[in-house]
Amino acid sequence: MQRFSGRRILVTGGGSGIGRATVHRLLAEGGQVVAVDVNEAGLRETAERAAAEGTAERLTTAVLDISDESSVQAGVAAAIERLGGLDVLVNAAGILRSSHTHLTSLEFWNTLLKVNLTGTFLMTREALPALLASGSGVVVNFSSTSASFAHPYMAAYAATKGGIQSFTHAIAQEYSKQGLRAVCVAPGSIDSGMTNNPGLPADADFSLLAKLSPALGSGFAGPETVAGVIAMLASEDGAFVTGTEIRIDGGTHM
């Protein structure tokens, strides 16, 4: 399939995990992609894989800190100039941290909000004029099953993901008449760098985490599982999907 031939795409978090898998899926389907991340080494690995797969000529990588307004402003402007416009924004970048809520510091709380929620807002705000100019722009944001289901020790993280869902619904409505679609993916039970080390407290009660096993298959799915859904949502196959979230968790939260 070449659903993204001629489409101009910006992906955050492109240096690892689901972000990287999304970059490669969209490149494989013909997209022109700018992948950004705060992790320069991770971006090099993404570029190396693209070279091995013969898609490097359609990939540009750049270091960008989504939590820093000036970095976002400069980085998005450079990406749009490089691509000659923008059709799709995938806000995959984010962090996962865990703690007992009663021991959560304000710094801890604000760090999660700054990266996950504010970062998503800043990227979207800066990209919106170009996305609207395309006439059929798409924003794919990252929520989580944590936004709707109880994941203990992750109250701050869950709050950011719930905020992203609400933000996505709002912009989907606000810009619908200008051709913009905005959707969320809500991954759960996905094997990515973030979920491999969620930083649970040393005294965590693991009986509270019993419902984290998918009903399908024998374990967590790979990040390419989410990348495939993103490719559907961002393509014409998802043309009638907006203002909602798609849960991708193998039935963990049925």
Catalytic site positions: 157
* Nearest by Cα to 165 from 189, 187, 183: 183
| Strand segments (E) across 143-197 | 181-187
Say how many residues make up the chain.
Answer: 254
DSSP assignments along 28-81, one per residue = HTT-EEEEEES-HHHHHHHHHHHHHHT-GGGEEEEE--TT-HHHHHHHHHHHHH
**Six-digit token pair at 165?**
């869902």
Give the SS3 label for residue 185. strand
- CA 70 – CA 91 distance, rounded (Å): 17
Give Cα separations from 233 to 24, 227, 248, 249 (angstroms): 16, 10, 13, 17
Sequence-separated (6 or more) residues with CB below 8 Å from residue 41 = 15
* Residue whose token pair is 């490097």: 56
